[in-house]
Every structure is written in C-alpha cells, then in structure tokens.
Amino acid sequence: MWASQYYGIKLDGPTFVSNVIHWGVTVASRPPENRSSPSTTFTTAASPTNNQVVQPSSSQPATTSLDGVEKSSPVPALPLALGGILVLLIIGLVFLKGRSGGEKRANLNVPGFPPELLEGYEPLEFLGEGGFAKVFKVKRKKDGKTVALKIPHLTEKSRKSFTREVRAWSMLEHPNIVKLYRAEETPVPYLEMEFVEGAEVDGKLVRTLEELPKPVDEKTALELIRGIAEGLKHAHSKGITHRDLKPGNILLKADLTPKITDWGLAKIGTHSTTTTSGVTVLYAAPEQLDPETYGRTDPRTDIYQLGLIFYELLTGKLPYGEKGPASVIAKILNPEIKPKPPSAVRPELAKYDGLFEKLLAKRKEDRYESVEEFLEDLKLLERLEGERADLRGQIEELKKTIQVTTDRSEVQRLVRKLVEGLGRNAVLSARLNDKAGLISALEELREFTREERGEVERAIETVELLLREGLPISQELVERVEVLVDRIKREVER
C-alpha cells in the first residue's frame, strides 16, 4: 500500500507491471540536474576569491564546471531507475501472491467449488449434492447478484447434450418455475439459475418440498399443488415436459411458494453414471419403467408425478409404499395392483379419491388429458364440497326439528324438504366420486321409499363394488342416481 501511495502506482494485477516500467523509463530519461550534492560540506580559511578553488570535504569525485568551480558528480539516473523498478516488482509480486492466496482461502471456505469459476463468481455457501450435481449459493461478480450454481456430474456422452437439453428451460418465465439465467459447458459444465431462499418451518430452514414435514394440512397441500400445477400448465403450453417431477425438484420460497427446477435434466440423467434411467423410482410413472407396455412419456407423465406429490402432501405416504425399488417397480407395473386411495390412509380424505383415480391411472389414456382439466376438477371439488358441507348441516337441523314437531302437516313438509336435501347430498357425493358418502346418502334415502327400495339397494351394491375395486363413479352412474333421487322425491310428495 505504501508503495502505491508513494509512487502513484496501482497494484491491481495486470496494470502493475506496465505502471512500473512507465515510471522507470520516465526517471531514466530525465536529464541530470546541475546541483551540488546535499551531503557535501565546504571548508574555507577565508572568503574565497575568484582565483581560489574550493575543496569539498567529502571524498566524492569532483568535476569542474565551465566557470572553473568544482562540483560533486550526480548519482547516475539509470541505475537508480532500475533499482526502483526491481523494488516495486518485488512489492507487486508479494501483493499479487497475497491476492491469489486470498482467493484460494476463500475457495477453501466452500469446499468443492470449481476453481475455474472463481473469476466470475464468489462462492458463498454449499447448498447440497445429489446423485446428479452439486449446488452452490454464489455472488455474481459482474453485478453482485446472488444466484445458484448447479455443477452437474456428466459423462462424456451427456456433456455433449447438456446445453441442448436445458435450452428450453431458459424459455420458461413463470412465478412457479425457477429461472435459468445461463448454461455453459466451459470452463466446466454449470447452470446459473435463480436462487430460492427456502422457508422457515418449525424453526428449521426448508429449501425443497422433500424437506418439508408431511403430511401437511389440506389448505397448505392445496396451495402447494395448485402452484406446482400452474407451473406445469405454463411449461406444457410451450411444449415442454419435465419427466422428473419430485419433491426434491420443487424449491420453496419464504412464503412456501413452490418453484419447479431442473427442467430437461431427466434426459441428461439417462446418460449419467450417477443416476438410473434418469428418473427417481419412487416417483416414476409406468411408461418410464416399461415404455413397451405403457407407451412413451408425454405431458400426462408429469400429471402422474403431480398426483404422487399431492398424495404424499395429504397422507405423508406414497401409494405403493417405500419398501425398496424392486418392490415399488413391481407394484407400479402390475395392472392388477391399484394405488391405495387417500381415504385408506386418512378416511376424511375420501373426497379426493376420485381425483387420484385419474391422476394415478396406470394407463395414460385414463388420466387427466391436461393439467388444466385437473385444476378445473379441483376447483369443482372445492365448490361442491363447500355446498355439500352446508347441505349436511341443514339436513342435521331438519332431523332435529322433525323430532320435536308435533303438527302432522308440518312434519310432512319437513320430511319432503329432508328427502330433497338427502337426494341432493347423494348427487353431490356421486359427482365428487365420494363412494362412501354416496352409500351413506342412499342408505338414508332408502328409509323414505317403498317403490324404489329395490333400485336403491342395487345402486348401493354397485357403488360398494366400485369401492372394493378402486374404480371411479362413472358419469352414467351419476345420471342413474339423479333419476333415482327424482323418483323418490315425487313419491314422497304424493
């Protein structure tokens, strides 16, 4: 520092040497000045005359000027300049070495960060490592922006397709999708992307949906799954499919907003030595494990994986268990083994059973055709569920009122209103694919009919069969229930 202040030379890397040389050349080219040496002492016996020669007291060689007076010789400028250059070069090398050492020490604070990327990024934190890549929180040096760097482990084959496979990701702009800023193959393959801060849950930092304790309450589950679905909807509208949707690929903001990451990496993973078939088995769709039987992947593959995430959020489990890859694969591929409905884990989730029959259907053709269709059904379910909840409250109030009413005509009026409510409850349960709720509603209706009693019992048997087989209530059965309810209402009104 003192050298840079004293000589006016900046010790800032590449400019240092040129600054030193410029200074030295300036000094060397400066003409010598006619001045006496400041260290010379003159002694005289008396005041000198023009004919006297003054002798210097030092032993330095003297020169005679044109006026005949001897003066001390100046120190040669070139050796002085060269000496100065040498000193400053030494100072600069020490400075640059110190800077280099500082960078290395900073790199050691974040182990595993590629030294090749230190020129553009300052590593701040190691975020984690999976079978496919390491992830770091870094500061981009050109503008100070905090971003995330993903450093994938690639084979020679996957490295060639790396930037091609993730190029589509950079086209996605959505609040529920992690933004990709750049993807480079050199000096090492890396992805620069949006840094997502994570959320504090029960005093712990949760960065991904995988780390979030499950099950969560219904409201949180619905908010999360809607966000993920909206991100998928946007990507599918651009013709982009994820194919490896899983909790570990869902990052969380501080307010629990989900953001989907790692678009296009499933294909790269198929060429990587650190992954198996480029997909996580627990969240694999049948067509990913056996394309010959179930066909090729398409957007409905993402819908299946969306269903698995939703199921786990609600129940805290996966529909085929987690005993091991071989066991899970066998269950996924066996057409005779149906995924357990959420109500088998938590009975209060029966209203969602119908959604999961379509979300987790093994054949793609039996699933929702689009994410938008799923979102519409989810919205309808919430509306119908709200309506049914209000209706059930009214039914219970009617039952209590009938019990304390003594006027016969009033009782008949209340019974007609009760049957109307029970019938509406049955239809709503059928539309919600709530088989247990439909059976309960039909059993209550059976007590108010003689003419349609046999038809009601046959309807109950049909629904019980569907419940055992894990099959959805068809539109045909919904219409059959509507007709049956209408007949019972007319019978009661007579």
All residues at 6 or more sequence positions from 13 whose CB lies less than 8 Å from its CB, including other chains: 96, 99
Structure tokens at 199: 């959320």
- Per the annotation, the verdict on 244 as an active-site residue is yes
Q: Nearest-CA neighbor of 340 among 371, 312, 306, 366?
A: 312
* C-beta neighbour count of 456 within 10 angstroms: 23
CA 158 → CA 70, 271, 477, distances in Å? 84, 5, 51
Transcribe 214-258 into DSSP letters.
SS--HHHHHHHHHHHHHHHHHHHHTT---S---GGGEEE-TT--E
Contact 314, 221 (CB under 8 A): yes
Q: From the candidates 67, 217, 244, 366, give the one annotated as an active-site residue.
A: 244
Using alpha carbons, select from 190, 193, 251 the residue that is nearest to residue 224: 251
* CA quadruple 478, 479, 484, 487: dihedral sign: positive
In the chain, the amino acid numbered 332 is: I
- Burial label, 1 (beta-carbon count in 10 A; 0-12, 13-18, 19+): exposed
User: Taking every pair of C-alpha atoms in the chain, what is the biggest distance, in angstroms?
Assistant: 156
| CA distance readout (Å), 480 to 192, 261, 391, 460, 485 | 57, 45, 21, 12, 9
**To the nearest 10°, the Cα dihedral for 53, 55, 60, 63?**
0
* Residues known to be catalytic: 244
